[in-house]
Amino acid sequence: MKVLGIVASHRRLGNTEILVKEALMGAEEQGAKADILRWTDYHILPCDGLATCLFGGTGCALKDKDDHNYLLEKIYECDGLIFGAPCYLLEVPAIVRRFIDRLFVLMSSPPPTTMRQKPAAIIIPYATRGWTSYAFLQPNLMMLELGMAVIDRALIHIQGMSEATDNQRALDRAHKIGITLAQAIKTGDVTYRGEPGICPICHDRNIHILKDNQTVECGLCGIRGKLSIESGKIKVHFPEEQVKWHRFSEENIYRHFTYEIKPSKDYFIKTWPLLKEKRRKYRDYLRIDREPVIPEGRG
């Protein structure tokens, strides 16, 4: 039973690293073999936005130029994942988003079937109460794209450098997450055990009110439902078919890729000669002559 810990924090031996390690210790108590990666030690190029990963048939064009593929394979190889990232300005650090952008390739080449419902847990240290609204958004997005099941997650209030070492409650919570994850791997029970949210898929509370002012939607999962107030409490009812067809369900990803993304290739090929001509005006206006970050010929 292999459990991988990911630390997506720039602070070495910061709270994220300590809490992820504590969770791994908990998993090891249950018989897991632990491994850890600090993402900030690796090179992850930004997605170049050319979408050749979707149309070229050869995967991500940057896959041999940096460590993204290696990091992805490490997730594919483990039996369970403990993902840690600090809260940064209501979300998590940009390295997480950079990794996720490069997962665009999964639209055309889905993750191996072994990834389906593979258990994961998320640990997010944060400093200020009320400043965490979107902290789970990117980690949830990543797990959904990978087809993984988040079985537990925690926002852990801890601020200063390595302060987690001196906060037994924080350590205990992280330790328990590791134990729970290992048990989920052993039993195959990937039921969500974290704090309940509003969305039954991502368990978050980031609900959008649509323009009809009647329907609400989970901004991440795209499921729509009706809001009501029962005994003074806000409730949202999401119909079963919405839950089944959430944005990241296999069926929906297939539909999105096949009917919305794929046809754009032919359209692009047809219109490219005209667009190439028309874009000259914008190339020549206020010319931007800085060297591109992305290798020449790919921009």
**Of residues 54 and 158, the one with the C-beta less far from ligand FMN:** 158
Q: Are 8 and 37 in contact (CB under 8 A)?
A: no
For 238-271, give the DSSP string: PPHHHHHT-TTSHHHHHHIIIIIITHHHHHHHHH
**Of residues 11 and 256, the one with the C-beta less far from ligand FMN:** 11
CA–CA distances in Å: residue 55 to residues 51, 60, 112? 7, 10, 19
Q: H helices within 147-262, ranges in order?
A: 168-187, 240-244, 250-255
Which residue in the shown chain puts its C-beta closest to ligand FMN?
14
**Strand arrangement, sheet containing 233-237:** 207-209, 215-218, 224-230, 233-237
Which residues of this chain interact with ligand FMN, rule CB under 6 A? 9, 11, 14-16, 86-90, 125-128, 131-132, 158-159
Measured from the CB of residue 37, what is the shortest distance to ligand FMN in angstroms? 14
**Of residues 66 and 163, the one with the C-beta less far from ligand FMN:** 163
**Of residues 90 and 234, the one with the C-beta less far from ligand FMN:** 90
Measured from the CB of residue 79, what is the shortest distance to ligand FMN in angstroms? 25
**Of residues 81 and 221, the one with the C-beta less far from ligand FMN:** 81
Cα–Cα nearest to 159, from 91, 87, 93? 87
Measured from the CB of residue 166, what is the shortest distance to ligand FMN in angstroms? 13
**Of residues 89 and 210, the one with the C-beta less far from ligand FMN:** 89
Beta-carbon contacts of 22 under 8 Å, excluding residues fewer than 6 positions away, are 164, 171, 174, 175, 178
Rg of the chain taking only CA atoms, in angstroms = 21
Q: Are 220 and 202 in contact (CB under 8 A)?
A: yes
**Of residues 153 and 247, the one with the C-beta less far from ligand FMN:** 153
Measured from the CB of residue 82, what is the shortest distance to ligand FMN in angstroms? 14
3-state secondary structure of 121: strand
Measured from the CB of residue 278, what is the shortest distance to ligand FMN in angstroms? 41
Measured from the CB of residue 87, what is the shortest distance to ligand FMN in angstroms? 4
CA angle 227–123–151, rounded 5-degree value: 60
Q: Which residue has the tokens 């993750």?
A: 111
Measured from the CB of residue 125, what is the shortest distance to ligand FMN in angstroms? 4
